[in-house]
Structure 1
């Protein structure tokens, strides 16, 4: 009997990372990369066309109308392709945000700074139906941040995290409201709430916090 080949779609907005992930996964004879994407919009189109067995995606990609990334993308993937395991391949270092990603139901989270063999093996484990996996580096980050397996996470809500992340990346409150389809007042309130929880009083300090804590 011919062994089954599993199809994989990769999404990352850096072409070099795309090629590296494709090369890493293609080294496994039973994995076939059927598409590479640079945005949430391209990923959605590829999923409709190819219906892959596995999705490997970055968390932070370019945002625009119809181009989801972040928690919105994770939630959309779970809604549109609930039976397809999602492996998040990321440079994020914030334990609270990593916990929020895990809570969306992804199959695994892997750090981009780890040995390529770690990503390949975790992808194979996800396809085999193993329980949710965290790579060694990601597990270490979450443990050091106090993000235990019982769900202790950031003091910020998922919506506050997204607002802080986008603000630190250079988006205005108005642009964030338009992208997230929330009112300007709601986004402003969520930003103020996040700053209050973090005991931060200036925009510059909020941006610095996000960068220092792996949110940006």
Structure 2
């Protein structure tokens, strides 16, 4: 069972997201908060697998709440709920340890996909905001391509393969199945990759993978 704490200051939004998540019998919303301070306390108490967090909240905004959650309960992944008008917050949210972004007005199925990916140690970027996330971090995808390829050049062939699958949003378990590896081996690879590339989390690694051209296109 994937346990989720949901935070948004609008009750209607919380009700809608809760309804979407309840469609999956493997997901349970264990608590809800209407402000960032209450969210952090609920996460401390419940220690959920995933915190689903709105960017704009009273008391403590989503950015600060994300940073506190990642410091206090590192086992809880944080997914940010955002809108197109809040692009300027993307880089800071990633720097604070967010595992991905969901668009409030996007496909409802993305909430379940995102929660499942984050709970398994993966990253999830809503397709409609992925380009904006990459652009926010990179300052221009094409201009950074050569530099990204140079950075990933320090990795072994297998590490680049794993990084490409991280960039595709796969969890450790999915990567293990794809490459016929033990999940523990994948965790070791990912940890090594983050260290060698000097990135803070899987989302930043995923952006670098996209910039370097390591992600397979459909």
- TM-score tier, shorter chain, comes to 0.5 to 0.7
- 1:152 and 2:139 aligned: yes
CA distance in 2, matches of 1:79, 1:53: 15
Aligned residues: 140
- 1:56 and 2:52 aligned: yes
**Residue 2 of structure 2 contacts residue 28 of structure 2 at CA under 8 Å; is this kept in 1?**
yes
Query: In the alignment, which residue of structure 2 is the partner of 1:109?
Result: 101
Query: In the alignment, which residue of structure 1 is the partner of 2:118?
Result: 126
After TM superposition, give the deviation of residue 71 of structure 1 in Å.
2.4
TM-score (norm 2): 0.59
**Residue 94 of structure 1 contacts residue 141 of structure 1 at CA under 8 Å; is this kept in 2?**
no
User: Going by fraction, where is helix more abundant, 1 or 2?
Assistant: 2
Query: In the alignment, which residue of structure 2 is the partner of 1:163?
Result: none
Which of 20, 36, 46 is equivalent to 1:24? Answer: 20
CA distance in 1, matches of 2:6, 2:33: 6
Alignment of 1:1-216 (within 5 A): 5-62=1-58, 67-130=59-122, 132-143=123-134, 146-148=135-137, 151-152=138-139
TM-score (norm 1): 0.60
Secondary structure in 2 aligned to 1:147? helix
CA distance in 2, matches of 1:8, 1:147: 28
The C-alpha deviation readout for 1:74-112, integer Å capped at 9, x for no partner, is 211111111210011122534442122122221111111
CA distance in 2, matches of 1:11, 1:70: 9
Secondary structure in 2 aligned to 1:8? strand
Say what the alpha-carbon RMSD is for the aligned residues.
Answer: 1.8
The C-alpha deviation readout for 1:25-68, integer Å capped at 9, x for no partner, is 11111101111110112112212322211110101011xxxx21
CA distance in 2, matches of 1:54, 1:126: 7
Distance 1:147 1:41, change over 3 A: closer
